[in-house]
Amino acid sequence: MHNGKHKRILFYNDAARIVIYSGGIAVIIAVLGILVFIFNEAFPLFSSAETKSQKKVMTFNEKSEKPLIAGVDEYEEIAFVLTDSANIDFIDMKNQKIKLSRKIEELNDHKICAVNKNFLNSHIIAATENGEAAIIPISFSSDFDLNNARTVNPEIEGIKYFTIDSLKREIKKISVGFSADNLITIAAMVGTNEIHLLSESVSTSLLGEDEVTILKSRIIQGGEKISAIELDAAGNKLAVGTDKGFLYLYSLENKSTPVLISTAKVSEQNHGIPNLKFLLGDQSIVIADEKGNISSWMLLTNEESGRKKLERPHVFSPLPWEVNIIAVSQRDKSFIVVDKFNNAEIKHLTSAKTLANIKLDQNRKVRDVAYSPKANGALLLYEDGLIEHISINAAHAGISTKTLFGKVWYEGYAKPEYVWQSTGGTDDFEPKFSLIPLIFGTL
């Protein structure tokens, strides 16, 4: 009897041991499975962006013309190129044929010597050798047939023409901004240190007639040569770079009286600034000097004194040579930089990292780069008229070990901080993904 009871106890012990061991092994497998799942989900966050050449198309321009600036629609089906002879060709990338060609008659056959774009408002501004400029609105509409096949149609309507310099001098650099209340602001550089400012506002009288008001002013940059100018998207701020490595930021809230807000020496070695751009949201300015150094600057207000000062929150890995092109994303805080020997990289403001290197045709010189509106591609314009479409896959551009676990200097913040704020109320919001507040609470 006792032997039978003892055998039952041993059986139950063995059975319990097996169950416990099996349960322990199952728990370990489950935990390992969870870790593998988390790793597989998190790994793409740290992967590099990918770029790939999709198609190359010659723009069929006359050899006497020089391509100046390019763009592409949101579906990346129709590209356009503006030449120095004031011709705009819209090219069907699929069929490699010109879909629409338009001569900008308003420029009266004068050669275009300066161009810029404000793609947030879908406009190009072109300036001529005799002090004149034209704002060219470019839009695309989509039609669908019975089989739901899409056709993208380019349109140019409402070109505006301005006389910037009454002395008919050549405009060397130009920029344009548009505010929400239909106010246009133009900044144009003539000579070596002179900037002409022009603003146009349209109001409606009591009789229902449009009344146009034009204000003009000037900035003389004494002691230095101007090397770069750029307006923000709304035309309320003007950034000026010089050949001595200084950045000047002006407020244009009062269109007739520009006010210098702050000055910063952005190059300690006095290298000139050939290029600068406002990023999406107009809080950060990306600056590149003639030695390939790249940094971002933003305007902060001292809480105690109330004074505004330009600060440098981010320094990016440099390019080997002078940066000729900065192309800004219309979707996030990314931008493309290209130096004079076709070294090209995609960088991101928040993470301050290089997302990808872009392989360019080394036998041709790049004239312009246009980010696609959805930031999933770019258009490269070479000086011989060739355009190259590349795809960009950078789904998690703002994620890095530093942005997840380190302090980051975000736009509008006085210093680097741990912040979690994944969404905002506007398209130009800068996501903040620090995990420290989620793990430990607010520090």
Model confidence band, residue 425 (pLDDT cutoffs 50, 70, 90): low
DSSP secondary structure letter of residue 110 = P
Residues facing 348 on adjacent strands: 334
Return d(Cα 65, Cα 359) in angstroms, integer.
Answer: 26
Segment 393-412 shows an average pLDDT of: 86
pLDDT tens-digit profile of 215-255?
999 999 888 899 999 999 999 999 999 999 999 999 999 98
Confidence of residue 37 (pLDDT cuts 50, 70, 90): confident
- Hey, is 396 helix, strand or coil? coil
pLDDT at site 354? 92
Please give the pLDDT value at position 245. Answer: 93
Candidates 322, 320, 321, 352; CA nearest to 334 is 352
Residues 136 and 103 sit within 8 Å (Cβ to Cβ): no
DSSP β-bridge partners for residue 433: 420
Mean model confidence pLDDT for the chain: 88
DSSP 8-state code for residue 54: E
Task: Look at 174 and 47; give whichever has higher pLDDT.
Answer: 174
pLDDT(442) > 70: no
Q: What is the pLDDT at residue 126?
A: 95
Exposure string of 157-166, with b = 16+ CB inside 10 Å and e = fewer, is eebbebebbe
CA 253 to chain centroid: 23
Confidence of residue 207 (pLDDT cuts 50, 70, 90): confident
Answer for the pair 272, 287: CB distance below 8 angstroms, yes or no: no
Nearest-angstrom CA–CA distance, 284 and 281: 8
219 SS3 class? strand
- Look-up: residue for tokens 């002395």? 167
3-state secondary structure 315-374: EECCCCCCEEEEEECCCCCEEEEEECCCCEEEEECCCCCEEEEECCCCCCCEEEEEECCC
- The half-sphere exposure of 132 on its side-chain side, counting CA atoms within 13 A, is 15
User: Residue 146 contacts by C-beta under 8 Å, 6 or more apart in sequence?
Assistant: none
Q: What is the 3-state secondary structure (H, E, C) of 417-433?
A: ECCEECCCCCCCCCCEE
pLDDT for residue 17 is more than 90: no
d(CA 157, CA 272): 38
Query: Is there a contact between 335 and 346 (Cβ–Cβ < 8 Å)?
Result: yes
Q: What is the pLDDT of residue 1?
A: 53
Distance of CA 425 to the CA centre of its chain: 19
pLDDT at 366: 94
Residue range 275-314, pLDDT digits in tens = 999 999 899 999 999 999 999 999 998 877 778 999 999 9
**Is the predicted pLDDT of residue 201 greater than 60, yes or no?**
yes
Integer distance in angstroms from the first to the last C-alpha of the chain? 68
CATH number at 66-321: 2.130.10.10
Q: Smallest Cα–Cα separation from 235: which of 225, 250, 246, 247?
A: 250
**Tokens linked to 114:** 């300066």
Residue of higher predicted confidence among 40 and 36 = 36
CA angle 297, 302, 304 (to 5 degrees): 170
84 and 112 Cβ atoms separated by less than 8 Å: yes
pLDDT for the residue numbered 424: 66
Check pLDDT > 80 for residue 429. Answer: no
Task: Specify the pLDDT at position 121.
Answer: 61
Residue-level pLDDT at 266:
93
Query: pLDDT category, 439, cuts 50, 70, 90?
Result: confident
Among candidates 174, 170, 172, which has minimal Cα distance to 131?
A: 170
- The tokens describing 134, both together, are 């034209």
Q: What is the mean pLDDT of residues 91-113?
A: 87
Radius of gyration of the chain (CA): 28
Task: Name, in order, each residue with C-beta under 8 angstroms of 322's C-beta and a sequence gap of 6 or more.
Answer: 274, 288, 289, 290, 291, 292, 339, 340
Secondary structure (3-state) at 314? strand
Is it the case that residue 63 has pLDDT exceeding 70?
A: no
